[in-house]
Amino acid sequence: MNGRGTQSRTCEAGKWSAPGACADPDVCVDGASESLACGLNARGTQVRTCEAGKWSAPGACADPDVCVDGASESLACGLNARGTQVRTCTQGAWSTPTTCADPDVCVDGASDSPSCGLNGRGTQSRTCAQGAWGTPTACADPDVCVDGASDSLVCGLNGRGTQSRTCDSGAWTSSACVDADVCTDEAMETRHCGVLGRQSRECKTGQWGDYDVCDAPASLSLQVTGRRDMVHDARRNLLYITTSETNGSGLVHVYNLVTRQFDSPLLTGGSFVGIDLSPDGNGLLVADAGYTETKNWIHQIDLTTGESKKIEFSLDFYEGGTFTAVYTSATEALVSSTFRGSGSVPLRKVNLTDGTARSIRNVRQDTMLTPSADGSTVAYAESNTSSGAWGRFKVDAQTFAGSGTNWFVYEIAVSRQASQYAVPTYEGLFIYDSALKLQTTLGQYADTLPIGAVYSPIADELYLAWYSYNDRAPSIDVYSATTLTKQRDIEPGTGLFDWTGNHAFGNGRMRVSRDGRLLFATSGSDRIVIYPTGL
């Protein structure tokens, strides 16, 4: 083909024979080229060239096809590649895969917080495992109702009322309950009445019935010969009453307000005057008008054991017996005394533990001592002096401050926190503030005036015992300690009080129980009347 083959011939009879077959090493013509079919489906082309009679190696196949016609395959697919889809080869190209058949609904390990709850405002979380969502956590739903919902509810004390409500932003907004009932059916209500009495009423069909009859009297009246002072023991419901006889046969009576009977006396054989109950309610101090040439004394009584002891003091010049004794603490007291004539006596501070005493001030005879309910202050009124001297002793500071009315005084009252003082005088009742500045007077000389005063230990109330020179009936009135105006009557009545002049323990002397419920008033020469205060 390229002249590189050989053939032979033989001369026979002078003539060449026909040449033999050409022995040609070449298979192609040098420089010739050809295209060959190739590829997956023989639709590709590749070129080769003849060099030195030999075909060169074919060039790269330019194959448009990517697959063998008619072939098919399954592919992994889906969220976690666990799904399957199929594709088929046509004209050398893969068809669009079939839809993925994926068993999974989520990507493993993924988590989300789907909304939940009545209005979709709640939150919960869930996690994907093996292509499936786990159980959601409990829905944290702030809402309690579906927005826009409404309903009507029964309401009220007995479920007979009505009210409507509407759901707004997941919460109920309710209208006011329309309820005609004022109490719960079959409920019982009890109130104090009379002297330590109680009365009850029952609720029926939502309304209170009438109170039943009070099981105690509206007041109690006691006749106690030689009566001087009294103090109430609210814990034991006992009233301790001192009496004073010239022959020294006085008593400390015990009146039981529950049984309304007198129990055995605590002390006998004295001339007992002022009396006070200890701060803890377990002891009594009793002043005694008796004295010897060198001594006077008070009595200290332990109410838990019934035992009593006498605490003695050395007499000052012309001093008589003791007059009032009040606690300033569980272990200390102040004691005033009388004078054999008219003069000044020591005001003693007494240590109740060891019985020692010292004078802390000179005061007039028969000085009245009254402690405030909070124990911070002892007020004193100096009897038998025209200056009307009075003052106060601050227990913590151990200091005195004094004032005067310029009228004879015989009694004094101090409010529960020592913010006000009431001083009965011949001219009327003088009211002072905590700075001992005069605020006002009530009543007037030789007309109608308070002869006794006491403050409530639990309320801003002032109780006044009124005496009248004219036709007005004596009475016990309740005044506001704030406005100093009358609030109500305790009792109006003829013959309630007589004028006894300058006499601290005469009629019109009043005390209030520490619980504020009972008022005790002396009336006439031997009478004690017990009233409820209305608190």
Residue 232 domain-assigned?
yes
CA distances from 503 to 119, 287, 408, 421 (A): 82, 16, 10, 19
| Model confidence pLDDT, tens digit, residues 247-266 | 779 999 999 999 999 999 99
| Model confidence pLDDT, tens digit, residues 505-518 | 888 899 999 999 99
Does the predicted TM-score (pTM) go above 0.75?
A: no
Cα–Cα distance measured from residue 252 to residue 244, given in angstroms and rounded to the nearest whole number: 9
Residue 17 domain-assigned?
no
- Structure token digits, residue 492: 């109006």
Same domain, 287 and 160: no
DSSP per residue, 476-489: EEEEETTT--EEEE
- The pLDDT of 12-20, averaged and rounded, is 88
Which among 327, 302, 229, 235 has a CA at the least distance from the CA of 270?
229
According to the model, what pLDDT value does residue 502 have? 56
- The pLDDT of 416-426, averaged and rounded, is 95
**Looking at 217, 240, 261, which one is the last position of a domain?**
217
Q: What is the DSSP letter of 383?
A: -
Residue 43 domain-assigned?
no
Residue 173: is its pLDDT beyond 60? yes
Same domain, 197 and 246: no
Cα–Cα distance measured from residue 317 to residue 385, given in angstroms and rounded to the nearest whole number: 19
Residue 493: is its pLDDT beyond 70? no
**Looking at 181, 204, 231, which one is the last position of a domain?**
181
Q: Categorize the per-residue pLDDT at 499 as very low, low, confident or very high, splitting at 50, 70 and 90.
A: low
Cα–Cα distance measured from residue 63 to residue 59, given in angstroms and rounded to the nearest whole number: 12
Residue 269 domain-assigned?
yes
Same domain, 172 and 232: no
- The pLDDT of 83-87, averaged and rounded, is 92
According to the model, what pLDDT value does residue 501 have? 61
Same domain, 254 and 275: yes
Residue 431 domain-assigned?
yes
Cα–Cα distance measured from residue 83 to residue 90, given in angstroms and rounded to the nearest whole number: 24
Same domain, 177 and 189: no
**Looking at 163, 192, 217, which one is the last position of a domain?**
217
| Model confidence pLDDT, tens digit, residues 264-298 | 999 999 999 999 999 999 999 999 999 999 999 99
Same domain, 315 and 290: yes
DSSP per residue, 24-52: ---SS-TT-EEEEEESTTS-EEEEEEEET
Q: Categorize the per-residue pLDDT at 44 as very low, low, confident or very high, splitting at 50, 70 and 90.
A: confident
Same domain, 430 and 514: yes
Same domain, 412 and 398: yes
The CATH number linked to 325 is 2.130.10.10
Residue 371 domain-assigned?
yes
Same domain, 385 and 502: yes
Domain that holds residue 157: 146-181
Same domain, 196 and 224: no
How many domains is the chain built from?
A: 3
Same domain, 475 and 521: yes
Same domain, 213 and 226: no
Residue 167 domain-assigned?
yes
Residue 476 domain-assigned?
yes
